[in-house]
Amino acid sequence: MKPVRSTLRVVMRAAVHLVVPALLMVAESHPAAALQDPGARSIIVASKPFGESFLLAEMFAQTLESNGFRVDRRMGLGATEIAFGALRSGAIDVYPEYTGTGLLAILKLPAISDPRETFRTVQREFKARYGIRWLPPLGFQNTYAIAVRRETAARYHLHTISDLAREAAHLTAGFTPDFTGRADGLPGLAKAYGLAPRGVRSLLQAVKYQALAGGSVDVIDGYSTDGQLARYNLVVLEDDKHFFPPYQAAALVGSRLQRSAPAAIEALSSLSGIIDEETMRRLNQRVEVNSEPVAAVARSGLEELGVLVTQSSHIVASRDSTGSFARFMWDSRSLVLSLTLRHLVLVSVSLLAAILLAVPLGLLLERSRGSAESVIRSVGLMQTIPSIALLAFMLPLLGIGMVPALVALFLYSLYPILRNTYTGIRDAAPAAVSAATALGMTPGQVLFQVRLPLAAPVIMAGIRTAAVINVGTATLAAFIGAGGLGDPIVAGLALSDTRMILSGALPAALLALLVDLILGLVERGVTPGGI
């Protein structure tokens, strides 16, 4: 019985060493959530994962802070579904949204060309359907901007989207998945203008400008206030048929904040109507092109607009874009370290839970082989659900943050562990298993003294696979505000900041190596001698 006990001991020891610090860290990273009474909860300000949304959310946050409120920031939430879902479920309190998006993507109503009518409609419908309030618009519109390179415009004489439709057969489009799927995006545009590009590539927000500038695609869907339009000297084609609805930016406020802090609503309303398109484009450019820190740009923007009192001593620190990556990492070391720890918590807690379920389940299935394949296959099906979709499905149940991220990572870890446990146990040294049975070991003794120790390396291989995948998948937790190394990746993508992306991606890669190394040592510990 010795190897069983020693195997168990190693597993237990590993469990204690992983879980206890993990739980401590979780507790530590959420002191506010754990200790504060609900009435005095911080206001949770969120954004969607692109530059302007980060900047507006930061402006909301600073405005609230200057009025004495405590603010918790959840920047870069997945996309419209996740940000709005989080607001609806009360997981966040406010985020910047656009009236056109509210009308078409959320309410699924037809476009209205008059901006004021659009605003009145979303304000009325959101209040009636969800109890969510649109504050009066901030003042500028940020509509879709169909953009091409300057030489493309010259070569094909493109000024309007109608011109583009005429020449579309020569051109390849790169559109964001969001745009390709929305009624106010490509499907509607194609119908309104008869637009049929030679090909449509799906491009992420973060790379589409580079793809256009580099010539991989000829047309993209930009935002009219994007700083990037100027940076790459692009031509925005006129929407001559007025297809795109008005997209006025405004603060979208959840029902809890409306009830609990009317003064916060008042503070946020002070931003209504004061940001024009020119101001917004300039601020975006400072963030996206000049690489100034979001917080500093938000601050100076608010000062410029007279919302915050100018501090004479205040210096706008530039995100020194010429410094080396090493320098950048050194300067952000404490942040990166805490994100890494947070990442490790996500990975280890979800992995441990998956081990605790999948290994016993694998043992059980070996005893009822008839149903084993169908059970394992259905667990495998879960693997095929795209992670963003899974997170979106779980939103109504689990909200945003740590819990849904842990659940998703747990679900994704199950399959490799279950598959390897079952196969390892089933195929373990058949000659030894049959001799052990023939000499009078009970089925339980055969399982725990023969099959399980002999399957240990195979089971560990499954756990290692799950762990490494898990480290990568956990970066997506940033989309639901769970933190971790995905945060700088999402923010870096939104702000076109390569060093910021790397400051998340490199530690994540190192973490994957480290986790695999540690589990390799555990594997050596649990692999019995003699094999």
Position among 435, 510, 513, 517 found at the interface with another protein (CB under 8 A): 435
Applying CB under 8 A, what is the total number of residues that bind another protein? 22
Position among 26, 356, 429, 461 found at the interface with another protein (CB under 8 A): 429
Retrieve residue 115's tokens. 């901006």
Closer to another protein at the Cβ: 4 or 403? 4
What span, in angstroms and rounded, lies between the C-alpha atoms of 356 and 375?
17
The full 3-state SS of 322-338, as one line of letters, equals: CCCHHHHHHHCHHHHHH
Which span (249-257, 328-336, 383-391, 448-456) binds another protein, by CB under 8 A?
Answer: 448-456
197 φ/ψ angles, rounded to the nearest 5 degrees? -65, 160
Closest approach, Cβ 441 to another protein, in A, equals 7
Position among 213, 236, 390, 436 found at the interface with another protein (CB under 8 A): 436
Position among 296, 409, 450, 466 found at the interface with another protein (CB under 8 A): 450
Which span (81-89, 381-389, 443-451, 464-472) binds another protein, by CB under 8 A?
Answer: 443-451
Position among 75, 454, 489, 494 found at the interface with another protein (CB under 8 A): 454
Closer to another protein at the Cβ: 461 or 509? 461
Closest approach, Cβ 436 to another protein, in A, equals 6
Retrieve residue 392's tokens. 């979106």
Examine residue 260 and tell whether it contacts another protein (CB under 8 A).
no
- Length of the chain equals 531
User: Which has the closest alpha carbon to 231: 244, 212, 246?
Assistant: 212
- Helix axis angle, 452-473 relative to 402-426, nearest 10°? 150
Closest approach, Cβ 458 to another protein, in A, equals 13
Closest approach, Cβ 431 to another protein, in A, equals 5
What span, in angstroms and rounded, lies between the C-alpha atoms of 111 and 245?
6
144 φ/ψ angles, rounded to the nearest 5 degrees? -65, 140
Examine residue 434 and tell whether it contacts another protein (CB under 8 A).
yes
Closer to another protein at the Cβ: 8 or 316? 8
Distance of CA 268 to the CA centre of its chain: 26
**436 to each of 8, 167, 363, 431, 444, how far by Cα in Å?**
21, 77, 18, 9, 11
Position among 38, 68, 386, 529 found at the interface with another protein (CB under 8 A): 529
Retrieve residue 318's tokens. 């530039």
Work out the end-to-end distance of the chain between its first and last CA atoms, rounded to an integer number of angstroms.
18
Site string for another protein, 499-528 (x = CB under 8 A): -----------------------------x
What span, in angstroms and rounded, lies between the C-alpha atoms of 463 and 15?
13
What span, in angstroms and rounded, lies between the C-alpha atoms of 278 and 298?
15
Examine residue 441 and tell whether it contacts another protein (CB under 8 A).
yes
Segment (H or E) for 175: strand 172-175
Closer to another protein at the Cβ: 318 or 445? 445
Examine residue 11 and tell whether it contacts another protein (CB under 8 A).
no
Position among 169, 326, 438, 521 found at the interface with another protein (CB under 8 A): 438
What span, in angstroms and rounded, lies between the C-alpha atoms of 370 and 523?
30
Closer to another protein at the Cβ: 235 or 452? 452
Instruction: Give the binding site for another protein (CB under 8 A).
Output: 3, 429, 431-432, 434-442, 445, 449-450, 453-454, 528-531
